[in-house]
Structure 1
Amino acid sequence: MARPSFEELLRRAEESAVHLEMRDGYMLSDPAFIDWKAGMAIAPRERWPQWFEWVGDARKRGVSVRRARIVSEPVSEYVRFEYEITKGLNIAACEQVRWLPRRRATDLALPGNDFWLFDGKIVLINHFNGEGELAPDDEEIRTEPEVVSLCAKAFETVWERAIPHEEYEPA
């Protein structure tokens, strides 16, 4: 049986989809990041129309979509890019977003990789190489109760400590 895609997992979600990001840089080859670095304006609805569709469909079904980011401070150039597009992309698509300065995460038990958790049952692990690019085996599905539990607890603990996007000022 083929592994379901992110889009399929989000479309199947009935209650929740949560995402924990823990890196200070992703996809530095992303054309949007390159354009942003060059001073170009980024129009999220034009760049990522599928994101608005996917999250919008989920929200219409009553699915809560939350994203938490653990970031080093002062923030990296990539995190500043993420911060600047979050309102027009993630918040505009009806996600809830929070930020946790890494210094406030020292005592947390965290999984080794970023992940999405769907309905508290299915974990989609994201694998990146050392440069922040997607690794050849970029995604992995995990459903073992101990993995699901670790990811669920980690996300909720980060979420409780994190600062809502509208209150966070990147250092």
Structure 2
Amino acid sequence: MSSNVPPFAELIAACTQSAVHLEMRDVYSVEGERDRFEDWRRGVRLDPADEATWWRPWVDLIRETVARGVVVRRARIVSEPVSEYIRFEHSGTFTNVAAGEDVRWLPRRRASDLALPGNDFWLFDGRLIRWNHFTGDGASAGPELSDDPAAAKLCESAFEAVWERAIPHDEYEIH
């Protein structure tokens, strides 16, 4: 494993086939989302018709990646009833979908018998893992990179098991 992790944009730019992301926390408190989350709490919602207000440069990065033929999928395991943060995430996920990500949601109780890694991750081309570490309160504790084949196999099988059970974004109703 390496503690010298290239920027995410560089990792996904090197990706040629697939990028999958598994999220398993009910609360994230990452620096780049705090203002948007607070705005959402005050009733501000993204307007699907006003794409210029969506999260940039993320939308552009995913569009460019998908245009190169890379399949980008995201699965979220969530406790129900969902946290306020998950409500926030759900309300803005249409931007991920519009950018070209395929997003699904899995209620945590339906994941009980799945073998899952201990941390959220991105898996690039089934071989390179970017672990996302978080503190107890959801702040980023920094990423870590691994090309360990056994860990990549675990991540791939865990993601596919979650994906198979998960509900597509446009069908998932917040509880």
| TM-score normalized by the length of structure 2 | 0.91
Residue 167 in structure 1 maps to residue 171 in structure 2: yes
How many aligned positions are there?
Answer: 168
Q: Is the 8 A contact 1:15 1:62 kept in 2?
A: yes
- Please report how far the alpha carbon of residue 42 of structure 1 lies from its aligned counterpart in structure 2 after TM superposition: 3.1
The match for 1:79 is 86
Q: Is the 8 A contact 1:66 1:96 kept in 2?
A: yes
Say which is worse superposed, 96-105 or 35-44, in terms of deviation: 35-44
Percent sequence identity is: 55
Q: Is the 8 A contact 1:28 1:34 kept in 2?
A: no
* In 2, Cα distance between equivalents of 1:42 and 1:127: 28
The match for 2:109 is 103
Q: Is the 8 A contact 2:5 2:143 kept in 1?
A: no
The match for 1:56 is 63
| TM-score normalized by the length of structure 1 | 0.94
- Please report how far the alpha carbon of residue 5 of structure 1 lies from its aligned counterpart in structure 2 after TM superposition: 1.3
* In 2, Cα distance between equivalents of 1:132 and 1:42: 23
Once superposed, what is the RMSD of the aligned Cα atoms? Answer: 1.5
Say which is worse superposed, 104-113 or 36-45, in terms of deviation: 36-45
The match for 2:149 is 145
Q: Is the 8 A contact 1:32 1:42 kept in 2?
A: no
Q: Is the 8 A contact 1:14 1:119 kept in 2?
A: yes
Q: 1:13 to 1:21 in 2, by over 3 A?
A: same
The match for 2:12 is 10
For structure 1, the residue ranges without an aligned partner over 5 or more in a row are none
